[in-house]
Structures are given as structure tokens and as C-alpha cells.
Amino acid sequence: MRVLFLGDIVGKPGRSAVKEALPGLRGRLAPDLVVANAENAAGGFGLTRKVLDELFGYGLDLLTTGNHIWDKKEILSFVGTEERLLRPANYPPKVPGRGIQRLALPDGRALWVLNLQGKILMPPVDCPFRKADELLAALPGEERCILVDMHAEATSEKRAMGFFLDGRVSMVIGTHTHVPTADEEILPKGTGYLTDAGMTGPYGSVIGMEVSDSLERILTGMPRILNVAKAQPRLAGLFAELDDESGRCLSLERILVSLPPA
């Protein structure tokens, strides 16, 4: 199975990057499935139904998220019914939405996608390690291709999750920090790992936001509306080939595509 994962899509520049770059990546990589983190896709914070439909229109098969999923109130009107949208699985019981989903291919193969959120320097959630144990134990044993989006602030927590799940899932990909790391590797028991897939959005920014807005907020400590930047749009992510029977990761390619300004 060939899987392409796109790092955090930020605002209109990120969505435009998907629109412009994904067709070429499909032609070169021929992925069976494309998954992306989209918690910042609507104006840099959260998701709307319109933005969700736009991204699905570009050919994304499933969207993961993180702590910013609740930033737009209208998310509550569809997060519980849209099967192609995940929120972190380790939110407390009764929180709407789902944290794991099965993506089926026409030939009968399937990819399970699990969305988790870290605890270090993040809003309070249940333990992602225990939740991963619980959910993985309930999966069909014959379906071994599993992708995990570990949405977390701390590199140590993402790295720990990689080793915790090594040999039990196909890929552990970190999101949230919007900075692509260069440490892609196949761990000893066969799990593909990357600390952070990076940002699909404007790199001439402070993690996607206008430099002047970010500097004013940091230097003064005063509240400041952060606007999505536009400069240096790029698409970032990770491409992997997985063994259909064992679920082991066979190869990894880090993706970073620069695009002309909109």
C-alpha cells in the first residue's frame, strides 16, 4: 500500500498548496490513499464545513486534527457525523466525533488511521498511550496497515510514541509544531517514523501566521489577532510504502514542495 500524509494545512495558502501540488505528487508517487492534518485549515484556526468540502474536493481521503479542532463552533454540527474527519481519540468519553477510522480500497485492502493528542504542554486530554493500547487491541488482527497521527508539542512525547507502537502500527507521524523534521526512519520493528511532518502553508511566517502580528504579541504580551501569512507557500508531508500483509513500513520519502505565491 502506498500512503501520502500531508502536514498541518494552514489557511487558504495551505489549501491552495494542496490544490496545486497534489496532482503532481499523485502522478509521481501514485498513492493509494492521501491523509492530511487539517485542524488549521479555516483561517488558521479550526475547520468549517465549506473548507472541509473544499479539501475533499482536492482528493483527500481523510482528515486528522488536533487541539484546534474546536476553534470554529460550527464543527459541532458535523464532527459527529462526518466519517472522513477525525478528532484525537484520547478526548474524554462523550466528546463528539471519532478518533479512529478504516479506509477501504476497492481491492479489499484497508488502512486504519488513528488520531492521538499529546499531553505535554497541551490542553488536558486522556493518556494517548493507554488509548492507543485500547483501540489497537480492538482492531481486526488480519488488517495490519495502521497510520497514527501523533499531534503533540513535545518531541520527546512523539518519539516515545514511535517506540511504544513500533511493530504494532505501520507509521507514527508527528504533527502540530508546523516545522518539518529531518529524522524520518524505519524503527527496529518495522514502523515508519517522523517527528513532525511540517506545515502545508506559508513558510514566510511564524508557524503560519504573519510575522508582524506574531512579533507584536510576543514582544508586548498583549492579545493580538493572528492573521494567516501568504509568503513562501509549501506543501510538506511524508510518503510511505507499506507491506499489505505484515503492515511493516518498507520505505519513506519526506516531501517538501515549494510553490509560487498565490
Residues annotated as catalytic (active site), given as ranges: 68
- Rounded CA-CA distance 252/61 in Å is 20
By C-alpha distance, which of 242, 240, 238, 230 is closest to 257?
238
The DSSP result for 206-244, as a single string, is BTTB-HHHHHHHHHH----PPPB--SSEEEEEEEEEE-T
The DSSP result for 128-151, as a single string, is HHHHHHHHHHTS-TT---EEEEEE
Q: Using DSSP, state whether 161 is helix, strand or coil.
A: helix
Contact 169, 147 (CB under 8 A): yes
Cell numbers at 32, concatenated: 493509494
Q: Any bridge partners for residue 112, and if so which?
A: 102, 146
Contact 115, 161 (CB under 8 A): no
